[in-house]
Amino acid sequence: MSKEKKRKIVEDKTKDGLVYFEIWGILFILFSLILLSQLGPVGETLNTLMKMIFGDWYWLILIFLFYYGVMMIIYHEFITFSSIKIKGFIFISAGLLIYSHFPIYNALEAKLTNSNIISESYNLFMGYLNRQSVRATYGGGLLGAFLFWIAFALLGSIGTKIIAILLLISGVAYLFEKTVYDFIDDIYFGIIKGYKASKKVITTTIDKMKAVSEQNKMQKGEVEIDKISVNNNDNQFESIVLTKNETVELKANKYLKPNLKKLRYHENKEVLENQKEITIQNAKIINDFLKAMFLNLEINEVYIGPTISSYIIEVENSIKSKKIINYQKDLLIRLNVNNIRIYEKYDTKQCLIIEIPNKYRYLVSLREVLEESTDNNLIPIGRNYCGNVYSINFNKMSNILVIGNDINSKIDLLKTIITVIYCKYTPSEFQIVLCDSTKYELNDFQNINHLFFPFISDFQSMKPMLIKLYTETERRLSLLNERQESFHPLLLILNDFVDFYINDNDYLKYLNYIMVYGAKVNIYIIYATNNLDEKILTNNLRAQFDSIIAFLINSKEISFKYLEDDATKLLKEGDCIVYSRTENVNVRIQTVNLTKDDEFVYIS
């Protein structure tokens, strides 16, 4: 019986075995550095040899050797050439070598009648060495010449170019662990999406310019009256003269509820239908995984949301859940995804929930949530993991803390809340206090009709505002005790006033008072920040918030400290977790994806 030859694998995990890999890694790193920097006669000679073999792309091979050496030191194992990414690198290298050898072929075409490209390339390179040419072109080197010769002999000039391009596309697709079809599909839809986005930006800019132009015309009108005289001598008013050079500025218009039909829906055509096929396929993969684990479990419910698909599995005990969580890396490989979120939840039954990001993402529009929200006491802000509209109920979420490292999502959430209030309520039905230390994130709302106090963007203005809000809270509480009155809602939005919390503890007493007693008289607070320093968000301050809305948080430790959940696996662009302390419930939602068109609601 013949013995099968196998590559030598060092399985010794002792110090000697680990040093073995580290020595090889150091040698690869030194070799690549010596050749790249051409150190001494040895470095120059080897550098020239590498140029002759790999052509003008020799540095790419040396960078790969350097990277390979670093990986050997870190992971203590040899490279696996069956890896998709390694295949991708090889395909890209082959495509570049073939394509780069076309200039050499064009230069030597006259000499190829009685010879071949490989030998003529070799003679050309040797001529470089004899003449000691500094700026010589090596094309794809001898290896590129060999690959070029094979492709050219079989398919000719045009066929060789096609082969080179196909190798490049395949290599890039494999490098990002996608099929060639998916890669081409992404490029195609990326171009279409970019074209539509550019077109939308241009049309929106033109519309906005027209709107501003019309508004300027309305605000400033020339008065062409030369003189208005009064003939009655007994009249106490003197004659009034207006010249053509004077202008009259119109006062701000009264509040008019916006027409929701002027808002636009997002282009979500076929998004859910395309995602449905992928979600069903993933469900089959998960069931096969559960069957392979001998857990006697299967998926009970599947929900397709705007951002994620949720798979709910009823489990008998936590032991089975922990086994699935421990093997989630295997599930990631089976599903061929980079991000997955698994957690336990107990409602009427103990369940394990698996959340997988959607390949086709549904964009939630402001118009759709406003149209579907019929309860006048709720503020719709997006859709939950089931696809239903999710709304803030200030009677249950009176003090809300908004945190996360995704700045754009935080800004869009605050803008959504303000815009929804503007669209649903008149200034007499709902009022807002806006405090924005950034001076630009909420600047568009500084002149809206619903402001209880002028727009605040500096530290000094915070003090009189809090005194006024404290006084209003006291007034309402006294009236509540006397006549059991109901009051219109008043929302205080604080956006990143870090200095206020650090420098002036006296005025924090006013804020704490409002947070404790304000909800009784319909005064609510939203505090939003990207600064997660415990010196600012102290335990005492965090305890005052009954709800937390968390976007992507970079640190897992901070995420569990503030949220008791993992927010590191959230996606950007509005994907968040809403945590209610009173109900001890976490809900994953996708907030409204605002567009420039939505701004016309409150600036027009």
Domain residue spans of the chain: 15-185, 271-357, 366-603
Backbone φ, ψ for residue 353 (5° rounding): -115, 130
- Of 263, 509, 244, 476, give the one whose Cα is nearest residue 367: 263
Instruction: Say which CATH class 366-603 falls into.
Output: alpha beta
| Average confidence (pLDDT) over 321-341 | 86
Helix (H) / strand (E) element for 54: namely: helix 40-54
In this structure, are residues 277 and 265 in contact, taking their beta carbons and an 8 Å threshold?
no
Topology of domain 271-357, per CATH?
Threonyl-tRNA Synthetase; Chain A, domain 2 (3.30.980)
Residue range 209-218, pLDDT digits in tens? 666 555 554 4
Tell me the pTM.
0.59
Q: What is the pLDDT of residue 208?
A: 61
Using pLDDT thresholds of 50, 70 and 90, give the confidence band for residue 600. low
Q: CA 584 to CA 249: how far, in whole Å?
A: 54
| Average confidence (pLDDT) over 455-472 | 86
Q: What is the pLDDT of residue 157?
A: 83
Using pLDDT thresholds of 50, 70 and 90, give the confidence band for residue 505. low
Across the chain, what does the average pLDDT equal?
A: 80
313-320, Cβ contacts within 8 angstroms, sequence gap of 24 or more: 313/351, 313/352, 313/353, 313/354, 314/349, 314/350, 314/351, 315/344, 315/350, 315/351, 315/352, 316/350, 317/350, 318/344, 318/350, 320/295, 320/352
Residues 6+ apart with CB under 8 A from 302: 279, 280, 283, 309, 310, 311, 312
Sign of CA dihedral 500, 505, 507, 510: positive
Q: What is the pLDDT of residue 601?
A: 61
| Average confidence (pLDDT) over 38-57 | 82
Q: What is the pLDDT of residue 479?
A: 87
- Of 170, 111, 154, 160, give the one whose Cα is nearest residue 140: 160
- Of 425, 475, 431, 445, give the one whose Cα is nearest residue 599: 445
Q: What is the pLDDT of residue 11?
A: 44
In this structure, are residues 391 and 300 in contact, taking their beta carbons and an 8 Å threshold?
no
How far does CA 230 lie from the centroid of its chain? 68
In this structure, are residues 424 and 230 in contact, taking their beta carbons and an 8 Å threshold?
no
Instruction: Give the number of residues written for the chain.
Output: 604
Using pLDDT thresholds of 50, 70 and 90, give the confidence band for residue 415. very high
Residues 6+ apart with CB under 8 A from 486: 522
Using pLDDT thresholds of 50, 70 and 90, give the confidence band for residue 5. very low
Q: CA 522 to CA 557: how far, in whole Å?
A: 35
Instruction: Kindly tell me if the per-residue pLDDT of 225 is higher than 50.
Output: no
In this structure, are residues 37 and 47 in contact, taking their beta carbons and an 8 Å threshold?
no
Helices 505-517/462-483 angle, 10° precision: 30
Q: CA 288 to CA 335: how far, in whole Å?
A: 11
Using pLDDT thresholds of 50, 70 and 90, give the confidence band for residue 222. very low
Instruction: Kindly tell me if the per-residue pLDDT of 187 is higher than 80.
Output: no
Instruction: Kindly tell me if the per-residue pLDDT of 260 is higher than 60.
Output: yes
- Of 414, 367, 426, 403, give the one whose Cα is nearest residue 555: 403
**Are domains 271-357 and 366-603 of this chain identical in fold?**
no
Low-confidence winner among 220-234, 276-290, 391-405, 412-426 (lowest mean pLDDT) = 220-234
Output the six-digit token pair for 269: 């055509």
